[in-house]
A = this chain, B = another copy of it.
């Protein structure tokens, strides 16, 4: 392959340290174009902007890389990249998203704007990877991730990905010891136990902050939580077909209301 064309997006916004890390690695691999949110979009899940207008402006923050900031969600960014910015032109060979400031392991994949950008790539039939670091710090240390981001991206460019699959890659926060390697994992069985912190505004009206604890029910060693806890890079192949295929015959057999 000639130099691949790489579309970069994220959900922390175009000025975050994580996207700078990702762009710097991608420049070593191919030609890069960035379309990313103009402000943080964490927790946006697979939201798209249908009832409101969108803005898109060129942004010069990366100097030698063509970049655009978009007022929409990460999924909007990938759609605008393909169907406006690159319309009628060469389409990306790969979509990469991140590096997210914060974990997107386990159930968090559902709420993840980072992964929604990657899944938009997969919907369009393009190999796609979302990268996340399990460290929320704005000035998080990404230095241990770069070597692996490069390896994984090159591997995906060389081998492709199964149809309809995007990768959810998570890195442990930087430890004293180096990373132990890469594990291909399933999504751990875990969830957030929410609570709501009740406060009152200066006008005496009640408002809430969502808070919560992450609870891991999973005893296995083949899941992403285990990998991260053991200082491995976790790679979960994710799909956008949500059908619980194995449940179709169950319902067809059990339900009286089908005829």
Contact = CB atoms under 8 A, between A and B. Distances in A.
Interface of A: 40, 42-51, 53-56, 75-76, 79-80, 82-84, 107, 109-111, 116, 119, 123-124, 151-152, 155, 159, 161-162, 164-165, 168, 181-187, 189, 191, 193-196, 199, 205-210, 235-248, 250-252, 254-259
A210 B76 contact: yes
A211 to B, nearest CB: 9
A239 B237 contact: no
15 contacts: A45-B45, A53-B199, A55-B206, A56-B206, A56-B208, A80-B196, A110-B240, A151-B257, A162-B247, A181-B258, A182-B257, A236-B242, A237-B247, A239-B243, A239-B244
Given A43-B50, A50-B210, A251-B184, A244 B196 contact: no
A118 to B, nearest CB: 11
A123 to B, nearest CB: 6
A84 B196 contact: yes
A187 B248 CA distance: 11
Nearest to A116: B45
Given A50-B210, A243-B187, A259 B181 contact: yes
Given A162-B244, A162-B250, A184-B251, 12 more contacts: A43-B51, A50-B210, A55-B205, A56-B208, A83-B194, A124-B191, A161-B247, A168-B242, A182-B257, A184-B258, A237-B243, A237-B244
Contact of A84 (B54, B208, B255): B208
Contacts of A49: 43, 210
A47 B73 CA distance: 10
A177 B211 CA distance: 49
Contacts of A79: 194, 210
Contacts of A242: 109-110, 168, 187, 236, 238-240, 242
Nearest to A245: B186
Q: Please provide the 6 A-B residue pairs with the shortest distance between their CB atoms, ordered closest to farther.
A: A45-B46, A237-B247, A43-B50, A239-B244, A45-B45, A237-B244
A196 B83 contact: yes
